[in-house]
Chains A and B, each alone.
Chain A
Amino acid sequence: MAPTSTQHSALGPQHSDTVINVSAFVKRYKKYAAVDGVDLDVRRGEIYGLIGPDGAGKSSLMKAIAGVLTYDEGTVNVFGTLVDSERAAERVKQRIGFLPQGLGLSLYPDLSVEENIDFFARLRLVPEQELAQRKARLLTMTRLDKFRDRAMKNLSGGMKQKLGLICTLIHEPELAILDEPTTGVDPVSRREFWAILAELLQAKGMTALVSTAYMDEASRFHRLSFLSSGKVLASGTPAEVQMLAPGLMVTFEATPQLDAITRLKTQYKQVEALGSLLRVFTEETIHATAMQSITSSLGDITPVQLRVDEPELEDVFVALLLRQGEQPTAVEMPPATPVTSNDALAIEAKGLIRYFGTFRAVDRVSFQVKSGEIFGLLGSNGAGKTTVIKMLNGILPPTGGEGWVAGVEMKTAGEAIKERIGYMSQAFSLYLDLTVEENIRLFAGIYGLDRQETKERLAWIVSMAGLKGYESSLTGRLPMGVRQRLALGCALVHQPRVLFLDEPTSGVDPIGRRHFWDILSRLAREEGVAMLVTTHYMSEAEHCDHLALMYAGRIVAEGSPGDMKRQVEKEAGQLLEVATDQPGLALRRATQAGFSGAALFGTKIHLLSLDPPQDEARLRTALSSDGVHVQDVLVRPLSLEDVFVYRVMVLERQEQATVKEAAA
């Protein structure tokens, strides 16, 4: 089902300021078509997004455009030059900057920040004088100037990516091709990255083609293409894409939740449980009828706190994928052991401390997780999340403090603790060269299950994780989503009461992610499994019952997702989205007018306001005096990402203030 806008841009006359034109592009790896007939048209000055899960074909397409990958069919035109040979690619390479995928992979770990920049600049024959100027400006802008002499390998993930961006743009290319620059980078660094990119592009009139696996970043692009399995499912401006799957999101509470979900699933394809909330996508476009149809499909269960919103782009993508025929595999949870103990504490951390050398990675962390609760641990890279999990798991001994897991003290319990917990680590950690069944049997054997138990658990895992038909496939050949469910199954083979999940869904497509969370909430609700989850996807944090935000090894905020949003709303106000005709200028004016938290979000400006009507008026006057036309100002609900960024920024500012005080 190709949307009409795609065809239009491909068949229509080439725009005079077209930078990239790709048509009927096909790239095969042996027989497998990674990209299968893609059209793309990128115009001067825009940030064009390629969005899609791992394996959608984004990287292949970008490499071909950058001239470092051959392709099988179709044409690729860059700056009007047909890139079909190495020689043709050489002609456009000087005008392109390419940042390949992978955190810091294009940089030299043992060189310092400055040496890396110098190397790339000299490679591109940038005159020394200009280099000095550009370097100074870029380093200041990215706040890396303090780290000039630090070796690249000692930078944090977000800093590495910023350095990568500098090295890509140091020769001031007309076109920047950035392959998943924000993957694995925490939300604060991500926002910063986007702000820098937007500023640079505007200042130099550059064009950028950027890919991302984070669906919630889609709204940051001027135009975008949504890729899935090598094909374009949708393309256009965010607003145009939104129109492709018209509908509304209805959010409410309903008890009993599981019955409500069962009833809703008969009529709606997108039903999500977010903690105590339910979120349903309906194709109705009128608020009243949307609410009405939900209420009627729930029967005798009455929804409370009903709320209707415009869908997010991620919801639209899921709707498009579902329309494509990708059916969400129904989760059939086989009958399980009834929940015996409720409200019992499953995990308790009391003042956990961990040093690495003199560095305090975890600083007096305390929290509690009850049975059947999903507890989310959020934080930037290096905030100490994984260290906390490893200590509670018994992999890493704490320097100080206590931890109780499933009723045992982790320091004294030794091996006993390990029989009561399940763990799914950051990287996929099953054997790729074993089949699905062999993996499950291996872990059944490790946990000491006998033959009969192994058989029962194997059947349970296969049906729980929707692995039917995959039993004898090699794990390495499975799609990411299926792999993650298998990993979950293996972590559950011995029916642990406590489950640790360390960034379980990196790289999984949105449908796979929703399916995964479906399973998690059922495990919590039906079997009373307690879960401790860390995630970078802020949209996923909404699924948790309780959240804790970590910063520099400490827990700095805690509460349910709703609580956390309300707290920020009380402290800093509501989120205003401002649409203008000159976003760059508008942002500068807004910042000068005192809206310090203002940030560019695609073509729109986001800012927090304690008093929306008054601030709107103030902003409109400030902008119109500069001739900026304000098209629209909307109050949008805060996302958890906004909460996260707000909290961390406040802390960073405090930290800087204390550093300055100490210096003075």
Chain B
Amino acid sequence: MMHAVRSPMLQAVWWRRISVMIVKELRQLFRDKALIGFFFWAFIMDVYLAGSGTSMQLVNAGLVVHDADQTVSSRELIYRFHQPYFRFDGLVDHPKDGLRRLDFGDDIVLLDIPPRFHEMLASGESTSVQMQVAATHSPQGLSAASYGARIVGEFGLEASARAMGLSANGNLSLPVVRSDHRIWYNPNQDESWFMSISEVLTITTIFAVLLPAAALVRERERGTVEQLLVSPLSPFQIMFPKVAAMTLVILAGTAMSLFGILHAIFNVPMKGSLALYFAMTTLYVFTTSGLGLMAATIANNQAQVSLMTILVVAPMINLSGTWTPPEAMPIWLRELMLLSPLHHFVNISYGIQLKGTGLDILWPSVLSMVALGGALFGFGLWRFRRQFR
């Protein structure tokens, strides 16, 4: 891209052109009050809300019980479905009433305890309880089912131990495999870490695609791009300053989120190198904005660019492993997602922040991003040149 550079004088002019263009982009951006407001909201409030508000774990799941037994044992079992996982919403007289509550969405679990439950346990006979789970919201439903199964299972184990004449707390001489697990990188299993980091990634992606694309389309809409085209600026000198300016702004936003929210409020650690993290963010924003510039050369106006951004960004975020594990996807989709810069950046971002990894481990992701970024930006540049022919 440095084809124009021949002598020191020309080189100085080349850099002056780049710098006045960057300054221009920054000025225009800061005069756009609405955009600035949106920017602060996204990088501060949105990240905060994501980190503090939502949870993927089973919390407060509504439970109703049809207790046909009404004994110590049945009450004991009900008692074990407790907060914070389950919320006991009372007894129903008939299973049908319980199902109705599931229909209405008031509760998601109906536990049905048969008559003679206590009696059969006491006499050492086998018995079963029925659990009906509403799985419209599948993760929540599936968790409820598995939690429920575990509770019932443990209760059954204790009951059988008791039936064999052993006290629940007594020394159990039966062979039992106990699982001892240790949790790495997020020892307290604090979900706000994951959620807030994911949100920063999401917002970075949206802005990295949208800002340069919108800036370029706006120039075309207002006709200012013609004035630039007749000046001695090369297409690279028109496009690169946009990306550079927007990258600076997004880095500032990331810093705000990182220090103002992630670090200060959620105590998310920065295990790896901060400098490396920002360097990687820069690379990521540059790569992703190539995607935006490409969209801008196809779109005719700002509305189209916004729609295209949604179209591009939504699958990127959903499928690149920000919110969902890529391991769970079909193989062809996983391979397709190797083309998404976000897929690589997710690795890098979690790696540096939570695992403290460095380039020695992350280099494949970094290389992929450099290749992707170069290709996208180059293609955008080519499209930009072509559309005026």
Contacts and interface: CB of A to CB of B under 8 A. Distances in A.
A393 interface: yes
Given A438-B27, A442-B20, A395 B230 contact: yes
Contacts of A443: 227, 231
A429 B227 contact: yes
B267 interface: no
B96 interface: no
Contact of A433 (B4, B13, B28, B228): B28
Contacts of A407: none
A438 B26 CA distance: 12
Contact of B20 (A395, A445, A474): A445
A441 B20 contact: yes
A434 interface: yes
Nearest to B29: A433
B233 interface: yes
A423 interface: yes
Contact of A446 (B17, B27, B31, B225): B17
Contact of A423 (B31, B230, B234, B389): B230
Interface string A469-513: 000001000000000000000100000000010000000000000
Nearest to B9: A448
Interface residues of A, number: 32
Interface in A384-437: 393-397, 415, 418-419, 421, 423, 425-434
Nearest to A389: B230
A447 interface: yes
B229 A447 contact: no
A446 B223 contact: no
A394 B385 CA distance: 13
B178 to A, nearest CB: 67
Interface in A309-355: none
A431 B28 contact: yes
A436 to B, nearest CB: 13
B227 A395 contact: no
B234 to A, nearest CB: 7
A431 B24 contact: yes
Interface residues of B, number: 28
B228 to A, nearest CB: 7
B389 A434 contact: no
B28 A395 contact: no
B226 interface: yes
B389 A397 contact: yes
Interface string A434-464: 1000100111111110000000000000000
B253 to A, nearest CB: 20
B184 interface: no
A438 B24 CA distance: 8
A426 B17 contact: no
B79 interface: no
Interface in B1-27: 4, 13, 16-17, 19-21, 23-24, 27
B17 A394 contact: no
A415 B234 CA distance: 8
Contacts of A393: 230
B234 A445 contact: no
A447 B28 contact: no
A441 B21 CA distance: 11
A622 B361 CA distance: 99
SS class, residues of chain B in contact with chain A: helix
A434 to B, nearest CB: 6
A445 B222 CA distance: 21
A423 B227 contact: yes
B9 to A, nearest CB: 9
Contact of B226 (A425, A432, A433, A442): A425
Contacts of B360: none
Contacts of A429: 222-227
B233 to A, nearest CB: 6
B155 to A, nearest CB: 68
Contacts of B228: 446
A446 B389 contact: no
A427 B19 CA distance: 26
B16 A421 contact: no
B233 A446 contact: yes
A445 B232 CA distance: 11
B223 A427 contact: yes
A445 B24 CA distance: 11
A448 B227 contact: no
Contacts of A474: 31
Contacts of B327: none
Contacts of B4: 415
A445 B17 contact: yes
Of B16, B228, B233, the most chain A CB neighbours within 10 A belong to B16
Contact of B230 (A421, A426, A428, A441): A421
B32 A433 contact: yes
Given A395-B230, A423-B227, A432 B222 contact: yes
A432 B222 CA distance: 9
B163 to A, nearest CB: 79
Contact of B28 (A394, A418, A434, A500): A434
A490 B226 CA distance: 13
Interface string B293-331: 000000000000000000000000000000000000000
A442 B234 CA distance: 15
A520 to B, nearest CB: 18
B388 interface: yes
Nearest to A439: B24
Contacts of A434: 24, 27-28, 31
A612 to B, nearest CB: 47
A395 B229 contact: yes
Interface string B329-368: 0000000000000000000000000000000000000000
A397 B223 CA distance: 19
Contacts of A438: 24, 27
B231 A447 contact: yes
A446 B232 CA distance: 7
A397 B222 CA distance: 23
Interface string B201-226: 00000000000000000000011111
Given A396-B389, A446-B17, A415 B28 contact: no
B226 A415 contact: no
Nearest to B17: A446
Contacts of A396: 388-389
A476 to B, nearest CB: 10
A579 B304 CA distance: 55
Contact of B224 (A395, A418, A431, A448): A431
Given A396-B388, A397-B389, A438-B27, A430 B224 contact: yes
29 contacts: A394-B230, A395-B230, A396-B388, A418-B231, A418-B232, A419-B232, A421-B230, A423-B227, A425-B226, A425-B227, A429-B223, A430-B224, A431-B24, A431-B224, A433-B31, A433-B32, A434-B31, A438-B27, A441-B20, A442-B21, A445-B20, A446-B17, A446-B20, A446-B228, A446-B231, A447-B231, A448-B232, A490-B227, A500-B230
Given A423-B226, A445-B17, 12 more contacts: A396-B389, A415-B4, A415-B234, A429-B223, A433-B28, A434-B27, A442-B23, A445-B20, A446-B17, A448-B13, A474-B31, A500-B230
Interface of A: 393-397, 415, 418-419, 421, 423, 425-434, 438, 441-448, 474, 490, 500
Q: Ordered nearest first, which 3 A-B pairs have the shortest CB separation?
A: A445-B20, A448-B13, A427-B223
